Structure 1
Amino acid sequence: MIRATTILRHDAVEPDRIVDVITLDHGDRHRRRIALTADGGTRFLLDLDRADVLEDGDAIALDTGWLVEVRAAPEKLVEITSADPLHLLTLAWHIGNRHVPAEIGRDAIHIGYDHVLVEMLEGLGATVRIVERPFRPVRGAYHHHESGGHHDHGHHHQGHGHG
């Protein structure tokens, strides 16, 4: 079976090497070792040194030299909004306090659907809407793309924005 031991981040992907696409939901994009079949039928064993998150637009490098592009599948999400930016920040705090993966946008927060959290958020005065779209939560503060096990927990205040 074809093996894949490397992930290329979206900004390093060479489009002319892509031979297939694999569509995965958020839960299935956090992997270390699993047999996968891409949308076009390419079968391979993902065999990473450690578990990692496959982001929309990343590519899985096959040992053949070809790439399989990763796409985030649409899934049922809760869209949380508020007319008051301070209220939205407070809602983000409540969500983070429950250690729930969240996608933070300028005007909305998205989380995976959970009826208990929907009731809590509505009780806190949030405007809540159920939507279907890819989920791209914020990565953990201590998560790094680099291999080799180096984890820098120092304070850096520049060059770490998300595009």
Structure 2
Amino acid sequence: MLTVNKLLPQGQGLASVLLKRAATVELDWDVRQKSRFDAVDSQGRQLGVFLPRGTVVRGGDVLVAEDGSMIRVQAAAQPVLRITPCTAHGSPFDLTRAAYHLGNRHVQIELQPDHLKIEPDHVLADMLRAMHMTVEAIQDSFEPEGGAYASGQGHAHHHAHDHGDHSHAEANPPHGEPGHVHGPGCSHGHEHTSAAPTARGKPIGIAIKAAPAPHVHGPGCGHDHHDH
């Protein structure tokens, strides 16, 4: 048995010619969400896969064996339900609504622009049909959404966000590094604040209130007045 203990997500860093030459292994979703499993690749080799716990294998990933050989993963076709809006009186928004209700039930969903896919479940199928969705049982690959906080798995992408003149890096500097320091000539508008201690003894900025308007004397103010 050939031991596999490394995974390259989507064959990252490998030349396309190497990927084409690599052996393949077809795995359904039930197997690919496990970190330890046995399989047989396209060359008939027995594979013993031992990946870090929590690892999810996706179609297109590359497994690396202990002898340096590579095995490209293909998502095997399996029974799934394909969900689309009703062609007669539905709308694309119905797909969003269906995904919302499935998500509330913690169902694993593959999201596509024009359809959803879930694993077979007759109760969910009846619910979706009651929502006027079209539900079709088919054989197809299944790649459910990895979730917003999945680390390096699924369809996660990393984006650098920049807001105006200040990035998140300024607002939340790395631990141990100073943040942006304001001072004369920094070209930023400043509101003068005074420091007041918090419950933890750290100062917070409190805006100084403007001086109150002068008291206006007149009839009924309650003060003694003398004519001059």
Interval of TM-score (by shorter of Structure 1 and Structure 2): 0.7 to 0.9
Question: What secondary structure sits across from 1:119 in the alignment?
Answer: helix
Q: 1:114 aligns with which of 109, 121, 143?
A: 121
Q: Letter of the aligned partner of 2:142 in structure 1?
A: F
| Rg larger in structure | 2
Counterpart of 1:151 in structure 2 is none
Q: 1:16 aligns with which of 15, 18, 22?
A: 18
TM-score, normalising length: structure 2: 0.60
RMSD of aligned residue pairs (Cα, Å) = 2.3
1:144 paired with 2:166, answer no
Q: Is contact 1:20–1:42 with CA below 8 Å preserved after alignment?
A: no
Q: How many residues align?
A: 151
Q: Which has the higher contact order (CA 8 A, sep 6+)?
A: 1
Question: What secondary structure sits across from 1:49 in the alignment?
Answer: coil
Q: 1:54 aligns with which of 54, 57, 76?
A: 57
CA distance in 1, matches of 2:93, 2:73: 35
1:65 paired with 2:68, answer yes
CA distance in 2, matches of 1:139, 1:61: 22
**Shift in Å at residue 11 of structure 1?**
4.4
Counterpart of 2:97 in structure 1 is 90
Q: Letter of the aligned partner of 1:92 in structure 2?
A: A
Q: Is contact 2:31–2:37 with CA below 8 Å preserved after alignment?
A: no
Counterpart of 2:33 in structure 1 is 30
Percent of aligned positions with the same letter in both sequences? 30
Name the one with the larger strand percent.
1
Q: Summarize deviations over 1:91-127 as a string: whole Å, max 9, x none.
A: 1001111111111111111111111111111011111
**Shift in Å at residue 51 of structure 1?**
2.7
Runs of 4+ aligned structure 1 residues displaced above 6 Å come to none
1:132 paired with 2:139, answer yes
Q: Letter of the aligned partner of 1:34 in structure 2?
A: F
TM-score, normalising length: structure 1: 0.82
Question: What secondary structure sits across from 1:135 in the alignment?
Answer: coil
CA distance in 1, matches of 2:104, 2:18: 43
Segments of 5+ residues of structure 2 without an aligned counterpart are 161-228
Counterpart of 1:150 in structure 2 is none
CA distance in 2, matches of 1:7, 1:85: 37
